Structure 1
Amino acid sequence: MYSQLFQHIVDTLEENILSDWQLEQYAEKIGYSKFYLTRQFKKETGLSIGAYIRRRRLAVSAFLLLHSDESILDISFECQFQSQEAFTRAFKELYQMPPGKYRNLMRTINFKEEQEMTSNEVKGWLLTGTNPSLYTIKADHEVFHTGSKSGYLGSTKPAEEGQFGTLMQVFSAKNWIGKRMKMSCFIKTKDAMKCGAWCRIDSKNGDLVQFDNMDNRSIHGTTDWNYYSIVLDVPEESAAIHFGVLLVGSGEVWIDGVSFEEVDHSVPSTNMTSSASKLPLEPVNLGFDEL
């Protein structure tokens, strides 16, 4: 489960992603040593703070290449690269093509997608929920955290608490049997009544085995990109893993950077189906005297 400190780290990084700051300045702003921050960040994401900042700056540069007419030189300096050559090398390493080619190719592709896109169709993803007709999904190339697109789920009509939609997919549990699995992602929201990432593991008979929908730490209102994680065990009887992002009521939510990794048992499970630890050790109020 992510911590308030980690959330504070991500918020600070995002607020100053294009600032010419050194790690010491981020640490001073957050109020911890740079060594402690680096350790905590690596533990949660598997990335160093420097690698995260670099990836985010490249994502910003991809957006600027696609949606502005700024020169590649200006974009490279705006995204804190020392030269256009250094920027081009880093961009090509992440996007597998130089920035100029990316600009030309992606503008053509995005134009075609806008012309051909069918509502509620995103390859590999499904729109489900109690009231899917109240929601829409898409791959959003205007708002993203890394890469060049994010997944979008938003209400198209007024929706109330108790009505929800999800952007989700399902895959086999075969490769995860016997492991503790961590699903992590970045989420951004706008006027969201209630939302969060979710993951559910089902048995071969379709019974729910493990589940977490962040109900005890749900996201509300308008928030910038933040990191969230779910940790579940995948027991022997598991057959299918369902995951995604859900939106209860009205609003908008974006999800990006979804990843799965095996973690050891030192990482606490967030499973919400295990109620054993919540049961009292002894019966209470047997005489009905307490109100």
Structure 2
Amino acid sequence: MTNDVIIRRTIEWMEGHLHEEVTAEDIAAQAGFSKFHFHRLFQSAVGMSFTEYLRLRRLTNAALALIHTDERIIDIAMHYCFDSQEVFTRAFKKVYGFPPGQYRRQMMSLMKMKEEKQMEETLKGWFLSGSHPFNYEMGADVETVHQGKQSGYLKSKTVTPAEGEFATMMQQFKADRYRGKRMKLSAFLKTEDVQHMASLWMRVDSASEEVLQFDNMSDRPIQSTSNWNHYTIVLDIPENSAVISFGMILSGSGCIWADSVTFEEVDEKTPTTNLQTEIVMLDEPVNLAFEES
């Protein structure tokens, strides 16, 4: 089992225990490592310690509860395992800049004032593409969030899309400053009722539009309904690269949410996930009678 799989399974376990008292030892035990070894693995993959991750996820869910419910602040604090309202307030203010009560008032006021916008206006840098983009929609979601105040989503508008129908919420940019580097695309993803598959994807093209590197997680797709988890793609950016594209893809019906997307350089020790393989030329024809397996 790879470290990425172990980390995803552990995150899935943590997501199911946000309301329970768990220790660092409990989390490490789920991963099957010592606390200190798993701390290093998790920090390297996710960019924060697993205890920081758990605390941040609790605060994010508490922030959503403040905005979208009328629960008392003390009840929200207790529900997300903070020892007191004072402890919760200090932790919340450190992340969101305001104490919980003020945050609730300001965010609810902003939500009432904010007019609905088209996805091109609300999600700077992202655009919709694919085989049937008009049958899908993308936008910002303030209720389903992994970190911060909102996530991005891509969902189908038709109940039964045609076979092979898909859309992608994507970005595209010049490869110039990344040539010769190994880059890692990471994101936290969540899905609901995905009929076929959902995933991250990334592609590197030359100036002549030749695909140089590519991964769409077809060998590890996300299906059906899944909670927030961490996914990565790692590709080399060859010297003849011209364009880098990446995003989230949804094939068939359903919905995928994305949050905390990162794009960063990694060293040669990090294995690539490239699905493009070089064609190996044989020296001579083989199996002409079709009897060899």
**Alignment partner for residue 167 of structure 2, among 158, 165, 168?**
165
Range 232-241 or range 129-138, more displaced: 232-241
Corresponding residue for 1:84? 85
Residue 217 of structure 1 aligns to a residue whose secondary structure is coil
Partner of 1:238: 241
Q: Which amino acid aligns with 1:207?
A: E
Matching residue within 237, 253, 274 for 1:271: 274
Identity %: 43
139-148 or 207-216: bigger deviation: 207-216
Q: Deviations over 1:18-77 (max 9, x none)?
A: 211111122334444323322321231121111111111111111011111123233223
Find the counterpart in structure 2 of residue 109 from structure 1. 110
Q: Secondary structure at the match of 2:122?
A: coil
- AA at the equivalent of 1:139: A
Aligned length: 289
What stretches of structure 1 of length at least 5 have no aligned partner? none
User: Secondary structure at 1:20's aligned position in 2?
Assistant: coil
DSSP-derived class of the 2:270 partner: coil
Q: Select 1:206's aligned residue among 188, 209, 220.
A: 209
1:15 pairs with 2:9: no
- Counterpart of 2:219 in structure 1: which amino acid? N
| Counterpart mapping for 1:24-39 below 5 A | 24-39=25-40
Alignment CA distance shift 1:284-1:15 (3 Å): farther
Q: For the Cα contact (< 8 Å) 1:120–1:136, is it kept in 2? A: no
CA spacing shift, 1:240–1:93, aligned 2, 3 Å: farther
TM-score, normalized by length of structure 1?
0.90
**Residue 209 (structure 1) shift:** 2.2
Q: Which deviates more from structure 2 when the two are superposed, residues 219-228 or residues 85-94?
A: 85-94
Runs of 4+ that moved beyond 6 A: 278-282
Aligned-residue CA RMSD in angstroms? Answer: 2.3
- Residue 292 of structure 2 corresponds to 290
Query: Where does the alignment leave 5 or more consecutive residues of structure 2 unmatched?
Result: none
Q: In the alignment, which residue of structure 1 is the partner of 2:228?
A: 225
CA-to-partner distance for each residue in 1:182-238, whole Å, 9 max, x for gaps? 111111111112110011122334332221111111111111111100001112222
What is residue 140 of structure 2 aligned with on the other side? 139
CA distance in 1: counterparts of 2:36 and 2:281, whole angstroms: 40
* 1:183 alignment partner in structure 2: 185
